[in-house]
Amino acid sequence: MAGGLWWLCIVAGIIGFGFGGPLIVANDAAATAANILAKESLFRLGFSADLISGLSYVGVTIFIYYVLKPVSRSLSLLGAFFGLAGVAIGGASWVIHLAPLLLLHGDQYLTAFTTSQLQAMSLAALTLQMQVFPIGMVFFGIQCISIGYLITRSTFLPRILGVLLAIGGTCYLIVSFANFLTPSLGPRLVPFIMPVALIGEGSLGLWLLVKGVNVERWNEQASLAR
Amino acid sequence: MHPLKKAARVAGAIYLSMVVTGPFSLIYVPSKLIVRGNAAATADNILAHETMFRLSIMADLVGQVIFICLAIALYRLLSGVNKMWAGLMVALVLVSAAVGFVNTLNDIAALTLFRGADFLTVFDKPQRDALGMLFIRLHTQGIFIDEMFWGLWLFPFGLLVFRSGFLPRFIGVWLMINCFGYVILSVIALFFPAYYGAAFNWSQPVLFGELAIMLWLLIKGAKIPVPQTGSIAPLRSPANA
């Protein structure tokens, strides 16, 4: 179940980027605005995929917490809290994501601004919204590292999954901080590092979905923990 | 009082306080102050009744805190039924409250723009009003998004009530239906805004599930399962919590 949800989260996240991303033309507010208005349903789909990705991650976080609780309750809880904080930070960006639609639909009260001003504001909102992602990523990164560590210490999941996940989490941290500190370098790292991170999360999600945990050993470790 | 009954009463009382603060900031104040599509009139209203507007922001924030307390109280009541579902319930509430908290910032931004501090004089008044109105609208959109969570947390809640054995099953089912009610409302608000009003009216009977559980917890509390007292052991009494 956790695995299924995790895949839902990843797929929805990719769809969110895949649908929403191409509509944005960097530094060209007018073209971006035209794109969004022409493909409004695509834009809304991108938004809802974003939302679903966040929602399913709340479920993922809780399920993973319970799966790994027998290994270390406090560390598992720490990871879960980082995950929830990450989702909440992402949640702050959901409203900003909808701002362009309000701005571009040109309600009566907005006539105080010229069209190009409204377009500039909506691109600013989108740019701001994109910046939230790496901020939340710091929290997800720490969560992934703690989960990865717990998996390597567990007896009921293969260690390699934990190692991959911890590497993925470290990648998130690197990308995020590269984004903040050297905005020119950050985006160039993404194509190299994101696949590594996805391998970590994807393989764990797939394993949980297909194989699940070794129930016998899970019970064993759970009873030891008590 | 039996600890289970006490936990139920506490949860019911917290629920009641939320039912009191919620409609004030969600329905009463917006209906008084916001004039749809008219930024200047909205700005005038809000400046004329600034205290009321600030109170509604306050009520919004207090409401989120109460929501968190409610989730914890319900966790205490229901975690004995199934810890994982109870945990999921709390997690959804926590994220919802965080989103709600950030969302009040939109109202505060609107107020700042309407008041027009010195640094804002680079914009003329109609522009400031329009920007303020934009933030008011964003706040409404934020509520629609949060509605998704108001629905989702009810699913684990309803499931736990259904399985509890000390609360009526039909209310559990009602809560789970209530969950879909909110989720559907949220989807309609975000995708088919034109139908929101009608959908909201139609969904009222579904949304009363929360009112039902609130009243039940407050008035009846929990039925104490006398024969198998041992089975409720996971519930900690306040003394050893």
Shortest distance between the Cα of A189 and any Cα of chain B, in A, equals 30
Residues of A in contact with B84 (CB under 8 A): 62-63, 66
**pLDDT, tens digit (0-9, with 9 covering 90-100), for B203-213:** 878 788 888 88
Residue of B42, B45, B95, B143 for testing the chain A interface, max A β-carbons within 10 Å = B95
∠ Cα B142 A96 B135 (to 5°): 65
| Residue B238 pLDDT class (50, 70, 90 cuts) | very low
pLDDT of residue B236: 45
Share of chain A above pLDDT 90, in %: 10
Give the lowest-confidence range in A135-149, A192-206, B61-75, B181-195. A192-206
Handedness of CA A88, B139, B184, B157 (dihedral sign): positive
Distance (Å, whole) CA B113 – CA B105: 12
pLDDT of residue B65: 92
Cβ-in-10-Å burial (0-12, 13-18, 19+) of A70 comes to buried
Q: Give me the mean pLDDT over the A195-221 stretch.
A: 77
Give the lowest-confidence range in A186-200, B29-43, B202-216. A186-200
Q: Give me the mean pLDDT over the B25-45 stretch.
A: 85
Q: Give me the mean pLDDT over the A109-117 stretch.
A: 82
Please enumerate residues of A whose Cβ is less than 8 A from a Cβ of B.
Answer: 44, 47-48, 51, 54-55, 58-59, 61-63, 65-66, 80, 84-85, 87-88, 91-92, 94-96, 98-99, 102-103, 107-113
Share of chain B above pLDDT 90, in %: 34
Q: Give me the mean pLDDT over the B53-58 stretch.
A: 91
Residues of A in contact with B124 (CB under 8 A): 112
Q: Give me the mean pLDDT over the B156-167 stretch.
A: 92
**pLDDT, tens digit (0-9, with 9 covering 90-100), for A45-80:** 888 888 888 888 888 888 888 888 888 889 999 999
Identify which of A47, A55, A88 has the shortest CB distance to residue B152. Answer: A55
Q: What share of chain B is helix, strand, coil (3-state, %, to 5)?
A: 85, 0, 15
Distance (Å, whole) CA A202 – CA A14: 12
pLDDT of B10 over the 70 cut: yes
ipTM above 0.90, yes or no: no
pTM over 0.90: no
**pLDDT, tens digit (0-9, with 9 covering 90-100), for B187-205:** 888 888 778 878 888 887 8
pLDDT of B42 over the 70 cut: yes
Put simply, whether B142 touches A (Cβ < 8 Å) is yes
Cβ-in-10-Å burial (0-12, 13-18, 19+) of B229 comes to exposed
Q: Which residue of A has its CA nearest to B187?
A: A48
Residues of B in contact with A103 (CB under 8 A): 134
Distance (Å, whole) CA A99 – CA B114: 19
Which string of DSSP letters, residue by residue, matches B227-238? TTGGGGTTSPPG
pLDDT of residue A8: 65
Put simply, whether B152 touches A (Cβ < 8 Å) is yes
Test A63 with B126 for CB contact under 8 angstroms.
Answer: no
- From chain B residues 43-62, the ones with a CB under 8 A of any chain A CB are none
Q: Please provide the size of chain B in residues.
A: 241
Distance (Å, whole) CA A199 – CA A210: 16
Distance (Å, whole) CA A92 – CA A46: 16
**pLDDT, tens digit (0-9, with 9 covering 90-100), for A164-176:** 889 988 988 888 8
Three state DSSP letters for chain A: CHHHHHHHHHHHHHHHHHHHHHHCCCCCHHHHHHHHHHCHHHHHHHHHHHHHHHHHHHHHHHHHHHHHCCCCHHHHHHHHHHHHHHHHHHHHHHHHHHHHHHHHCCCHHHHHCCHHHHHHHHHHHHHHHHHHHHHHHHHHHHHHHHHHHHHHHCCCCCHHHHHHHHHHHHHHHHHHHHHHHCCCCHHHHHHHHHHHHHHHHHHHHHHHHHCCCCHHHHHHHHHHHC
Q: Which residue of A has its CA nearest to B90?
A: A62
pLDDT of B156 over the 90 cut: yes
Q: If you average pLDDT over each of A117-131, A180-194, B150-164, which comes out highest?
A: B150-164
* A102, A134, B145, B186 from B197: Cα distances, Å: 19, 37, 16, 12
Residues of A in contact with B91 (CB under 8 A): 58, 61-62, 80, 84
| Residue A19 pLDDT class (50, 70, 90 cuts) | low
Residues of B in contact with A44 (CB under 8 A): 190-191
